[in-house]
A and B are shown apart, each in its own frame.
Chain A
Amino acid sequence: MSDNKQSHFTIDRALYEQADVDNSKYKSSPGLTEDVILDISSQKNEPKWMLEKRLQAFELFKHTAIPTWGPDLSGLNLDDIIYFIRPDAQESNVWKDVPKEIRQTFDRLGIPEAEKKYLGGVGAQYDSDVIYHNIQEDLKKKGVIFENMDVALREHEDLVKKYFMTQCILVNDHKFSMLHASVWSGGTFIYIPPGVKVNLPLQAYFRMNAQSGGQFEHTLIIADVGSEVQYIEGCSAPRYTINSLHAGGVEIFVHKNARVRYYSIENWSKNTYNLNTKRALVDEDGIIEWINANMGSGVTMLYPSSILRGRGARSDFLGVAFAGSGQNQDTGAKVIHVAPDTKSTIRSKSISSGGGVCTYRGYVYIGENAERSKVDVECNALLIDDESISNTHPYMKIDTDNVNIVHEAQVGKIGDEEIFYLQSRGLSIEQARQLIVSGFIEPIIKALPLEYALELNRLIELEMEASVG
């Protein structure tokens, strides 16, 4: 039994939270001014239209107030954040060319091993720049583009210009999409040509290292007619005393009959504000699948949205959030049905422990012409102790009849009888609790690729250990 217990805790949060020596080549001064934006743009040698977009977004950003609904953002001082940090490294597609210190960080996180084993391609971003990018040859031959966003802007400017913050996430959406548009740097660009099916998942790993840094990567996935792709994103940051900010943007275009599966495991350190915008536009018979795990960060506000605009489009959302002491996970999903015969499912699970707050905030809209649409929402919350908080705020707006909408939510604790049963089988209280929690999040674990499933399971055990023990 004791051996077994050992193996449960081989992972250590320090793995993620240990900072490296800050060897950045370039750092902008804290705070956001027009000069910072001009600087980012000129260093990247961007086309004029992109700079104009940045400046337009900045102009809007200045005049927009921080949202007051949802979690408290008063601890976030936007003037303290460093908006652009370049590591001392050139992007490379050979792992050993990456500088040693940075390589060590990613080695620790297991990125290159994962690539060898089962990935079709991988990218790694360190602060504001992507430092490693690789894709399998046969995918390249089929016309799949998997690039760093900055490179994509140079080499596939037409595609980027057509899709970049033009119809999916709009520049003027909200305060943090404006901020993102003005200072975005790095991220992933994926284009899958018509009919191409990528069997192995593509992966990117994002790491914030510099103190009080901000990471604003932009991910753009375009799945052309009849194509299929899976994309995994992992995120972490070391722990500092000053808050850092992550305001990324993910835009996914699912064209006719295409299918995209998007995984994201966020494990930012607990003083990170994770204010992310993720959205997918789904055309006729297209399918978007979101699999989201929110483990880290102090405050999360993240609501992946799907706009089902083609007949028969579908969206499946599976999410898990874990809030430990001092964490506020405000997550959920939005689905906008604006075409007939569209379907969506939302499964959300949350665990609050040690005084953490988990909130499910969702929105389902059925437009006037979205006849015969079906929606199924299910939220489950588990409260580990009596200091923790769970909130459920689903919004539903239905503008037509001939629909079928179901929402259900349940909040509860771990039953004493279940614990007693496991104890009678020789497990300790902690082990019993962990086992029950593992069972609770099993649907999400099942959907994840093996390595991530293990990592997520261990992280939850670790967090539980901290709160229960």
Chain B
Amino acid sequence: MNKDILKYGIGIVADMTAIDFDARVFEHGNMNVVVDNLKVKKISTKECEEKLKNWKIQKVEKRKEIVDVRFYKQNAIEPTDIVTFFIPKTVDKPVHIYIGDKQKNVLIYLRIIVEAGARVTIIESIQDIEYCGMILDVIVGEGAYVKYIIDQRVDDKSFLIHARTAFVGKNAIYRWIDIELGSAISKQTIVTELVDEGARAETYGLFFGIDNQLIDLKTTILHNASHTTSDMHVKGVLSGHAKGIYYGLIRIPHGSYTCDGKQREETLLLSKDSEINSIPNLEIENNDVKCRHAVSTANIDTESLFYFQSRGIENDTAIQSIVEGYLMEIIDLVGDETLMKSIKSTIIKKLK
């Protein structure tokens, strides 16, 4: 068995051989990270250590939720190589992070520390790149609110393997919005660890795969403290020969009481050759909780199309409206009008 084929249990595999790791020369791509917000400062390792002295942050290799660290290990990044940005309480505008652009095969370890009480929207845009391996840690201080939008619309030749972890402090709210539209292979691991009481995690995702795209999305929420809540909702559309893998996990360990977790995943299949693998998981070690999950897979039924036809709307337009309406629930969460418009136009382009 080739080492680049990931197995997720019974017959579910993600074939990463197309990335061809051996043929690539990787560069530490910290210079590829550009942040455009004057209030956000790059801080030194020493300052970073000082700020994180009360946090328990495990090394990437030790985090069980990040499957197959092999892909990240080759980053072989020393602690001194980690780029750390500090977002202060005074931040008032959205923070844009641009990744890529300068080199072709990059490895990045990015760390973002959000000060207690800050309210911020972070928009991450990945530029066209051949290969981008990234580890991202976001540390969210007490009572902060962070909305992290991943705007992934790279060209269909790019390979992305990203492992993202958010550590959410007391009474803080963290919201991921992952928009996965581009790339040949995109493997995203999105973990939210609710570290202290009252923290809330929301993970929303949208993926649309066409042709031979492979989208492998793993979303995890760890309720490591009592009175924490979470909501997970992923919607996907697949057409052509595209393949999707969705792996979701809510874990409530022993000792975390009155937690509430929700997990939903829905997929719309537009072609016979598309394939979806859904693996929603719950691991509950405690009875004082509320936890549920649901997944569903469906296609556009002929009746809906007939309805549109009877109103003089052609099939293509009808499908476009249905898909748009279907994904709107997630797109609406982005909030930023310009970004929403441009995401919608990418979706319409993909439908043609």
Contact = CB atoms under 8 A, between A and B. Distances in A.
B287 interface: yes
B294 A403 contact: no
Interface in A383-403: 383-403
Interface of B: 8-12, 254, 257, 267, 269-272, 274-299
A394 B280 contact: yes
A163 interface: no
A406 B274 contact: no
A408 B294 contact: yes
Contacts of B287: 383-386, 388, 412-413
Contact of B282 (A392, A395, A405): A392
Q: Looking at A397, A405, A409, A410, which has the most chain B CB atoms within 10 Å of its CB?
A: A397
Given A396-B297, A397-B12, A405-B298, 16 more contacts: A386-B254, A389-B283, A390-B282, A392-B280, A392-B293, A395-B279, A396-B276, A397-B11, A397-B277, A398-B275, A398-B297, A399-B275, A401-B270, A411-B282, A412-B291, A413-B288
A408 B277 contact: no
A69 interface: yes
B296 A405 contact: yes
B291 A410 contact: yes
B23 to A, nearest CB: 31
Interface in A360-405: 363, 365, 368, 381, 383-405
A44 interface: no
B298 A403 contact: yes
B286 A365 contact: no
A407 interface: yes
How large, as a class, is the contact surface on chain A?
35 or more
B136 to A, nearest CB: 27
A392 to B, nearest CB: 4
A383 B284 contact: yes
B282 A401 contact: no
Contacts of A388: 285, 287
30 contacts: A365-B11, A368-B272, A384-B287, A386-B286, A388-B287, A390-B283, A391-B281, A392-B281, A395-B8, A395-B9, A396-B278, A396-B279, A396-B295, A396-B297, A397-B11, A397-B12, A398-B276, A398-B278, A399-B275, A400-B269, A402-B272, A402-B299, A403-B299, A405-B297, A406-B295, A407-B295, A407-B296, A409-B292, A411-B289, A413-B289
B298 to A, nearest CB: 5
B284 A390 contact: yes
Contacts of A392: 280-283, 293
Lowest 4 A-B CB distances belong to which pairs? A383-B287, A401-B269, A413-B287, A405-B297
Interface string A220-252: 000000000000000000000000000000000
B214 to A, nearest CB: 14
B272 A396 contact: no
A397 B281 contact: no
Contacts of B289: 383, 411-413
Given A391-B284, A401-B270, A409 B294 contact: yes
The SS class assigned to the A binding surface is strand
Contacts of A393: 9, 279, 281
Nearest to A412: B290
Contacts of B10: 363, 395, 397
Interface string A291-334: 00000000000000000000000000000000000000000000
A447 B49 CA distance: 61
Interface in A34-84: 69
Contacts of B275: 397-399
Nearest to A390: B284
A69 B7 CA distance: 13
A363 B8 CA distance: 12
Contacts of B269: 398, 400-403
Nearest to A369: B272
A398 B276 CA distance: 5
Contacts of B12: 395, 397
B45 to A, nearest CB: 39
Given A383-B284, A389-B284, A413-B287, A395 B277 contact: yes
B230 to A, nearest CB: 14
Contacts of A412: 287, 289-291
Contacts of A408: 292-294
Interface string A91-108: 000000000000000000
Contacts of B257: 386
B299 A398 contact: no
Interface in A446-464: none
Contacts of A403: 269, 297-299
Contacts of A381: 284
Contacts of A411: 282, 284, 289-292
Contacts of B294: 406-409
Nearest to B275: A399
Contacts of A69: 9
B226 to A, nearest CB: 11
A103 to B, nearest CB: 44
Q: Looking at B8, B281, B282, B288, which has the most chain A CB atoms within 10 Å of its CB?
A: B282
B298 A391 contact: no
Contacts of B9: 69, 393, 395
A436 B144 CA distance: 41
B293 A409 contact: yes
Contacts of A409: 280, 282, 292-294
Contacts of B285: 388-389
A401 B286 contact: no
B274 A407 contact: no
Given A392-B293, A409-B293, A401 B280 contact: no
A387 B292 CA distance: 19
